[in-house]
Structure 1
Amino acid sequence: MATHLITGAGSGIGAAVARRLHERGDNLLLFARDAGRAKEIAAGFPGARTLVGDLANPDRLSWALSHQSLPDRLDSVLHIAGVIEMGPVGELTPKAWHSQLNVNLIAPAELTRLVLPQLRVTSGQVIFANSGAGLTANAEWGAYAASKHGLKALADALRQEEKPNGIRVTSVYPGRTASPMQAKVHQQEGKEYDASRWIDPESVATLILTALDLPRDAQIDDLTVRPGR
């Protein structure tokens, strides 16, 4: 039975992935920013364990995990949590840059570093839920796109470094996906949000599980998916 560490399992793509893995009987280790949120998320996944740590403060993740119990082995780490704050470069404050870089890039790098020993035991897998913004940067998406471009670089470097240990690394680049984050994006854009126009999180979850379950004689480095409507 495989064990997966998942960030962002509280909603959207992360919740869809966690639900699918839970339904098939895999072990889940769900990451939450505080004890209250951990309790909320765990209620939806009976038998799942939680880890508490604030992705917005990656400098403290090592300390947080040192006070909690990690499994001896992990089959995958699924980095799905993310934040966005739009705005033109001429108006974005350092706080906006730091918040997005911390959660979207530095925290995934640090969390991966902290659990690499457990992943090496299983020749496991790291999957990064990136974004179309990780490939193309548009106006007012500068800080978010920068964090996601950096996430691509992180994945590419990690893939080469951990190949001798048998660890597979996959980046998934979804276009606009129906989720609370997408609703926030529309609010920031001043547009009406219609979830039916965008990718269902279940469709992205299918891609992530495809990469996760691919036989070990092959690997998927990058997957791009766009709305079909």
Structure 2
Amino acid sequence: MTSTALVTGASRGLGAAIARRLAPDHHLYLGGRSSQSLASITAELEDSTPWPVDLTDHDAVATAARGIDSLDVLVHNAGVAALGTIEESSIDDWRAQYEGNVLAVVSLTKELLPALRRVGGHVVLINSGAGLRVNPGWGAYAASKFALRAFGDALRQEEPSLRVTSVHPGRIDTDMQRAIVEHEGDVYDGSMFLQADTVALAVRSAIDTPADAHPTEIVLKPRK
């Protein structure tokens, strides 16, 4: 029987890389903002279903989740970042990152708990190095990622039939990283960062860990 997986933020970057790693033996639900954004990755991965939904629209999430009866793997990859010092950042910046990086994850997980429990599924939270430490100018983003880590810790204890893995990668060579480096006023050099497929392979390794072990946390740092 084919396993099933839902990957949010699957249209590009790390999400697409994770989807490709899971594709050989999973039916994939590919999460994204629109069918158009998912068209390319859906066409590339044969056994996949586009799953376009605004994850901050909790009613829409509830409706979309009703079509999933059984789920082996849930990868929360979608997220947002708006950098700035505490003085510079607005309350709306903080609210948007908490909505996108925490409440969207809580909402979707709650809706899919019955499907995950049915098969003793695995929840993977793509967190960040910012979920372990805070740097100047990253306060709002780090606060949301610390909260995401706490959510994973609570879910792991409350749902003993599930495995819950928090993945904390350093900077990854993606379009999102380009925007961050531009904000910082630096010249972009993707070779200084983790490759998306490297992180995707770590996610796949966690999922493939035999059932007698629980990979609770993975930390990846660029070697350069």
What TM-score do you get using the length of structure 2 for normalisation?
0.95
Deviations 1:158-178 (A, max 9, x none): 000001xx1000000001111
The 5 Å alignment of 1:116-127 reads: 116-127=113-124
Map Cα deviations across residues 177-217 of structure 1 (whole Å, 9 max, x no partner). Answer: 11111111101101111001111111111111111111100
SS in 2 for 1:49: strand
User: 1:70 aligns to what SS in structure 2?
Assistant: coil
What is the letter of the counterpart of residue 27 of structure 1? H
Matched, 1:8 2:3: no
Indicate which of 138, 142, 146 corresponds to 2:143.
146
- 1: CA distance between counterparts of 2:198 and 2:38? 25
Matched with 2:188 is 193
DSSP 3-state at the match of 2:25:
coil
Q: Paired residue for 1:36? A: 36
* Aligned ranges 1:18-97 → 2 under 5 Å: 18-22=19-23, 24-55=24-55, 57=56, 60-66=57-63, 70-97=67-94
Calculate the TM-score normalised by the size of structure 1. Answer: 0.93
- The CA distance in 2 between the partners of 1:92 and 1:13, in whole Å, is 26
Q: Is 1:176 paired with 2:171?
A: yes
Gaps of 5+ in 2: none
Distance 1:80 1:68 in 2: 17
State the shift of 1:82 in Å: 1.4
User: Is there any run of 5+ residues in structure 1 with no aligned partner, and where?
Assistant: none
Partner of residue 134, structure 2: 137
Shift of 1:44: 2.8
- Aligned identity (percent) is 39
Q: Does 1:156 align with 2:157?
A: no
How far off its partner does 1:66 sit? 1.7
Helix, strand or coil at the partner of 1:102: helix
Q: In structure 1, what is the Cα distance between the partners aligned to 2:138 and 2:49?
A: 35
Could you tell me how far 1:34 is from its partner in structure 2? 2.5
Q: Distance in 1 between matches of 2:32 and 2:210?
A: 30
CA distance in 1, matches of 2:170, 2:35: 32
Indicate how the Cα distance of structure 1 residues 185 and 89 shifts in structure 2: closer, same or farther if over 3 A, else same: same
Structure 1 residue 64 displacement after superposition:
4.3
Whole-Å separation in 2 of the counterparts to 1:10 and 1:183: 17
